Chains A and B, each alone.
Chain A
Amino acid sequence: KQEVTQIPAALSVPEGENLVLNCSFTDSAIYNLQWFRQDPGKGLTSLLLIQSSQREQTSGRLNASLDKSSGRSTLYIAASQPGDSATYLCAVNSDSWGKFQFGAGTQVVVTP
């Protein structure tokens, strides 16, 4: 059974610093991995989707890498801003039917 772990559980950084969020998964046979953002009491916003054949994806200040063989993905957020404060979830799709296994998330606080 696929298990997804996110470290750290919480992170607080001053504005302007780069953020590094880690995600690990136990079964390397994945279709894709996706990073989401969740604001308190709200739904999910998709940030980046990485297919199993890709090693990284970039969107603006966000960059996500994938090392399938070691079961790891890292989300980098450059030059953090207070608006980046949220919980970031990593989700792994291990079957062809779109079922995601989610990590517990990393709660990020960016202080002005």
Chain B
Amino acid sequence: GAVVSQHPSWVICKSGTSVKIECRSLDFQATTMFWYRQFPKQSLMLMATSNEGSKATYEQGVEKDKFLINHASLTLSTLTVTSAHPEDSSFYICSASPVSSGSFDEQYFGPGTRLTVT
């Protein structure tokens, strides 16, 4: 089956610094990738839709200047949390939809990245 990887799987950073999270589709091309955030004991909340070669679309309430998304190729999207604060500590998960599927029904989720801001 299709595989989506994320790197790093776990990161600790100090308040005020920036951290970059990568999402890669390993064996398929993805025009569109999605970024979700999951706080402890809560469900996933969609943050933004990442489209290859164009600007990301952010959900209401998500600061686009704080969460920078770059979808530079058909297999890689990155999420950079800028000037991170403790309240940004969360589990970040990406998903990707294969170009070949022709729809967004088929999505594969990455294993997630746990961010802890101290």
How many Å lie between the Cα of A46 and that of B110 in the bound state?
11
The reply to whether the CB of B105 lies closer than 8 angstroms to some CB of chain A is: yes
The reply to whether the CB of A22 lies closer than 8 angstroms to some CB of chain B is: no
Residues on B with C-beta less than 8 A from A31 are: 105
Q: How many positions in chain A have a CB within 8 Å of any CB in the partner chain?
A: 24
Q: Which residues of B contact A (CB under 8 A)?
A: 6, 32, 34, 36, 42-46, 49, 91, 93, 95, 97, 103-105, 107-112, 114
Query: Could you tell me if B34 and A98 are in contact, using CB atoms closer than 8 angstroms?
Result: yes
Query: Could you tell me if B49 and A97 are in contact, using CB atoms closer than 8 angstroms?
Result: yes
Which residue of the partner chain B has the closest CB to A91? B44
Residues on A with C-beta less than 8 A from B105 are: 31-32, 49, 51, 93, 98
Among candidates A45, A93, A98, A101, residue contacting B32 with C-beta atoms closer than 8 Å:
A98
Residues on A with C-beta less than 8 A from B97 are: 98
